[in-house]
Amino acid sequence: MGLAADIAVQRWSAVAVLETAWRDPAAAAAVFAGEPYALLLLSDGSAGGRWSYLLRQPERVLTVGGGAPAVALAEAAALLGPPMRTHQGGPPFQGGLAGLASYELGLAYEPAVGARRDPDWPDLAAGLYPALLAFDHIERRVLALGRGSNPDQAKAGAEAALDWLAAAAPPTPAAGDLAEAFEPLGSAPAYRDAVADVVARIAAGEIFQANVARAWGGRLRAGRAPYDLMSRLAADSPAPFAAYLRLPGLAVVSNSPERFLKVGADGRVETRPIKGTRPRGAGPVQDAALAAELAASAKDRAENLMIVDLMRNDLARVCTPGSVEVPDLWRLESFANVHHLVSTVTGRLAPGTGAFDLMAAAFPPGSVTGAPKVQAMRVIAAHEPPRGPYCGSIFWAGFDGAFDSSVLIRTAAFVGTADGWRFEARAGAGIVADSDPAMECDETEAKIAAIQRAFGARTLRALP
């Protein structure tokens, strides 16, 4: 261990934890929503989403643009330093690096794609957070954590984090429409043509599957802010991997149901790709019928299995040989607006590798690209402008080597301008050989529905 690594370990070697009564994490974060690098990782409290986190005031910031993204994840790993201990009985994340990896970060690791980058968004933007609040949805408590070079410094950090709750107030969601417009950026017929083109490429043997998306956009009304959307989504359609990130002049609001990569401090790896979708029904009978239809669909199972195989291959690049397994295939999971087929792929990191090596091997997520991945990304680039945050990831990387991350679907990306906030949201579908363009177009509308309603769908322009 070199001198720099020794210093890093000593700097964050002490950890302190203070406990207090439950508070609503979305309400606690609202106070700081306009603060650069404020980050809320919001779970729905389900079995797989016990913890939410509020992070602010990072000690250091790492931002990598389109100039030299190939070093981004190596820089992130170096900023964290070697793994160090955590507080026994504490939450999975006890401080470390957290932030955004945009979709175009993947161009650093798959340069043959040749796609353009989004000029508004960095490839990577993350902060180093030595203090945080962790919200335990199961035991209904809040833990304030601080790290430092000694116990007194760590306790001071935890006490400072605990003070963040003093300003929290009951959530008061904004009334009325949030947006001036929520309009398709491109027509439904054009999207159906894109699907037909992908089907033709599959028939020609170019690819097996590609995830092609549609986009909607608009501007927030005067006096509205990106966090207003976050508040509505949290109240109306909670998701296990929801997130809000504020950057200088930018904001991300995500209502994602999908985990990308999870790494335990012991090196165990998990990914849970989603492929296969049906909308929720108008009543219990229709809802059950739609769920049963999805569970029995050979087309959706095949689509899911292709991405499972892709993720097995991505994990195998950095996992111990023979450790990659599929313990759960085609599980039906239901969310506020849709049913999904979700599979689980696991493995164990090979000695000498860490979470950012895994991310470099697997980014961008296979479920939102296709198979083979590089050629699918080329096809996506032919039909879509740069994606920016969409289909990238919000992640945290702990001081102990643990890691977790989302796939940024059901996500709105905001850019501040002199005239206020403009936004874009996308929804995609996995296209396979027997995909029907009209049905795939309908699937994108089912996926975007919750975000559309949250912006104020009743008075906004109807989808074409």
Active site residues: 258, 275
Core vs surface per residue 51-77: b (16+ CB within 10 A) or e: bbbbbbbbeeebebbbeebeebbeebb
Question: Could you please report the per-residue DSSP string of 39-101?
Answer: EEEE---STT--EEEEE---SEEEEE-SSSGGGHHHHHHHHH-S-----TTS-S--SEEEEEE
Residue 164 host element (H or E): none
Structure tokens at 275: 């492929």
**How many angstroms separate the CA atoms of 423 and 247, rounded?**
14
Q: Which amino acid is at 179?
A: A
**How many angstroms separate the CA atoms of 283 and 291, rounded?**
12
Residue 124 host element (H or E): strand 124-129
**How many angstroms separate the CA atoms of 373 and 384, rounded?**
16
Dihedrals phi, psi of 197, to nearest 5 degrees: -65, -40
Whether residue 365 is preceded by a cis peptide bond, meaning omega within 30 degrees of 0, is no
Show the beta-strand stretches assigned E in 310-358.
325-334, 338-348
345 to 63, 348, 407: CA distances (angstroms): 31, 11, 15
**How many angstroms separate the CA atoms of 91 and 265, rounded?**
12
**How many angstroms separate the CA atoms of 116 and 66, rounded?**
10
The DSSP bridge partners found for residue 218 are 423
Structure tokens at 191: 């999207």
**How many angstroms separate the CA atoms of 347 and 272, rounded?**
12
**How many angstroms separate the CA atoms of 100 and 120, rounded?**
13
The distance of Cα 306 from the centroid of its chain, to the nearest Å, equals 21
